[in-house]
Structure 1
């Protein structure tokens, strides 16, 4: 029994590693050269170094962000504006290699719809929490626990030790640009992308009549729901809705239906 459990765990780890590798291999780093800011910086470690495409692990190489703690800023942060809403799937952060490597420890990566620097009440959606310490010069890949939608991503320290700082040399972000075809994020955090004139085949989890938003809200409440087929009624915002499982195939052409895929 112990061997079986270990085998299952090992298989899960290999599967996760494969998924992460696939995302990185087929996705564009949406962070590079986007507008950035920080609570403050020290010794020339300006926020623009954090997404300039320079992976040099030496601070002298002009690659690394550095923000020491101060009385006015006890938990420094670094933030990026993706310039459009994205469904963020994972981030990758590269640590400094030449000195003070231990500083990249115990931090949270959060995503926001609104800019938290101008809207302090903006809701933080946590992508990942990293409680440990990233190795010297290491590139740590952090999949979001659940894909989160937003335009602003912030990394912030949760703990500051003596002589500590927010310090890293590159942050990459991988995700897909969000479609607002059906957006239930104010209530559920989810959004759905539309494939017109297509329908996902299979046996529905459930069927109902309602609006697209109502269908999206219903799908969001069912973890197994992968999306929904929607057939609009004439001269009405309502239609026939089919909540669907994760498909074994792609949606097929059907002129009277639209397929809505849950993205986040």
Structure 2
């Protein structure tokens, strides 16, 4: 009888995906970070379900350059994010994990990751100004429910970012949010186009930019799109459905305008 109740309420699951009735949305999802400190210290270490908290079981960036150090998780669907848990390193370097912000985005923030991002670009789940305790979990509840697909963990000062495990919790977004959603905005970057070598762009010939927008909105997982006023090989609209690296995956091209979706 007790075993049936435990399974019913999700207190235990062999794959560790469900804990106390909550699903860890971040488990084994695509990730990337500002940089890699060394071999094996990759961003996916932060969402692999390995709860060891030594040096080589965690994500680890290099020293900050011209942008703050960050780690980004693609949940691959839109969720209403309610809380997060972060497992810190156990040795003295664990003191580095402090003064961080967790934000939620509908689109891949790409090159827009910077200090002091304005609220209309993202939804701030939580800001943590303190130092996380070494070798243990820090449990954080969002100050407001944030709806989006991408969760960004960012340090607010110049320091290496290392996370041993990041767990994200929330509910699938079904079109009826518990918070007010403003109208959809289409922001643009003149003279650039997304050109990730690992991302197949979906080409279209459209009458105008509005038809390209419509194609993106109707396409599952469309994050952004390239549009050009002139046809190039019968194409003037390209849909983007994958990560856009902040520095490497954009090409300067006066014939195109890159646009991304924002609430």
The CA distance in 1 between the partners of 2:91 and 2:112, in whole Å, is: 37
Partner of residue 126 from structure 2, selected from 116, 125, 128: 128
1:100 is paired with a residue of what secondary structure?
A: helix
Instruction: Supply the RMSD in Å over aligned alpha carbons.
Output: 2.5
Partner of residue 38 from structure 2, selected from 16, 32, 43: 43
Partner of residue 29 from structure 2, selected from 20, 31, 34: 34
| Equivalent pair of 2:64/2:160 in contact (CA under 8 Å) | no
- Answer with 1 or 2: which has the greater Rg: 1
| Equivalent pair of 2:103/2:152 in contact (CA under 8 Å) | yes
Seen in structure 2, the aligned counterparts of structure 1 residues 107 and 181 have a Cα distance that, compared at 3 Å, is closer
The CA distance in 1 between the partners of 2:138 and 2:29, in whole Å, is: 21
2:60 is paired with a residue of what secondary structure?
A: strand
TM-score (norm: length of structure 1): 0.56
**Cα offsets for 1:70-104 (capped at 9, x unmatched):** 3334x111000000000001000000013411110
**Post-superposition offset of 1:119:** 6.5
1:109 is paired with a residue of what secondary structure?
A: strand
Gapped regions of structure 2 (runs ≥ 5) = 1-10, 12-17, 185-263
Aligned to 1:107: 100
Partner of residue 185 from structure 1, selected from 181, 189, 192: 181
Partner of residue 146 from structure 1, selected from 144, 147, 151: 144
Partner of residue 53 from structure 2, selected from 34, 57, 74: 57
The CA distance in 2 between the partners of 1:184 and 1:144, in whole Å, is: 16
Aligned to 1:71: 65
**Post-superposition offset of 1:123:** 1.5
Aligned to 1:197: none
The CA distance in 2 between the partners of 1:180 and 1:139, in whole Å, is: 32
**Post-superposition offset of 1:43:** 2.1
TM-score (norm: length of structure 2): 0.56
How many residues are aligned here? Answer: 161
**Post-superposition offset of 1:68:** 2.6
**Post-superposition offset of 1:26:** 1.3
Gapped regions of structure 1 (runs ≥ 5) = 1-20, 189-264
